[in-house]
Amino acid sequence: MAVRSALWTVMTGAAQKAARAMKRDFGEIEQLQVSQKGPADFVSAADIKAEKILRAELLKARPRFGFLLEEGGEVSGEDAHHRWIVDPIDGTTNFLHGIPHFAISIGLEMDGEIIAGLVYNPIVEEMYYAEKGKGAFLNDKRLRVSSRVNLTDSVIATGIPFHGRPGHKPFLKQLERVMGEVAGVRRMGTASLDLAYVAAGRCDGFWEQGLRPWDIAAGIILVREAGGFITDLQGGKDFMATGNVLAANPKLHKQLLPLLNAA
């Protein structure tokens, strides 16, 4: 990897330590203690354990930074300019069903801008990492978004609203518009990895609505540093606030945006 900065060391070290406990829990999935925090929105002992490890490791390395945590909420730091945005297990439902497609997601925000991001799938040991101005990487490989220019050749990832989430009918209209124009639509259940796959060129685009900052913080910079374009569904920059995201290479983004808006 070309980027071996101090931030890389801090973030990868924290993720790898949390992943060791997570892999043990994944191997004993039937014995996990699980509670519900909302319809189809699960929180497990593994989530809480991983978040504690990540927070402790990041705090040890950068004791003045604040946090925005999926489970623990917002924690102010002495340094008002920097904040870690952490999802200990993005794709918890996959995790709890024994589906090996989930990730640790860590983003670093400075004055409202994401400047570094990490997405790590510990089961397949794929570590996606990006820093502002330094590129995006998968393990030791430099990443670029796909070069496809036609929707008919493209595979597009998405997230589908589930029980307890609004927006089912509008999503079906969007899906109807998109699926008639593309080679395939995929729903994999982990937004951070969907964005990482766009950065890696595995998927040519991704859209979803109603996401939270910890779902997308790391993926934002991965896509940008891999040469991709990311906006909200109106083409603006409010995706961190709205949770509505469209990411693709620049040519496909221009084609997908009017399709989604027409729906």
What is the set of active-site residues? 70, 87, 89-90, 92, 215
Region of residue 189 (phi > 0: left; psi between -120 and 50: alpha; otherwise: beta): left
Q: Which of 26, 9, 1 is nearest to 123 (CA)?
A: 26
CA distance 30 to 134: 41
Contact 119, 190 (CB under 8 A): no
| DSSP per-residue string spanning 114-180 | EEEEEEEETTTTEEEEEETTTEEEETTEE--------GGG-EEEE----TT-S-HHHHHHHHHHHHT
Q: Which of 134, 135, 108, 113 is nearest to 54 (CA)?
A: 108
- At 92, list the tokens: 């918890």
Q: Could you count the other beta carbons within 10 Å of the beta carbon of residue 238?
A: 12
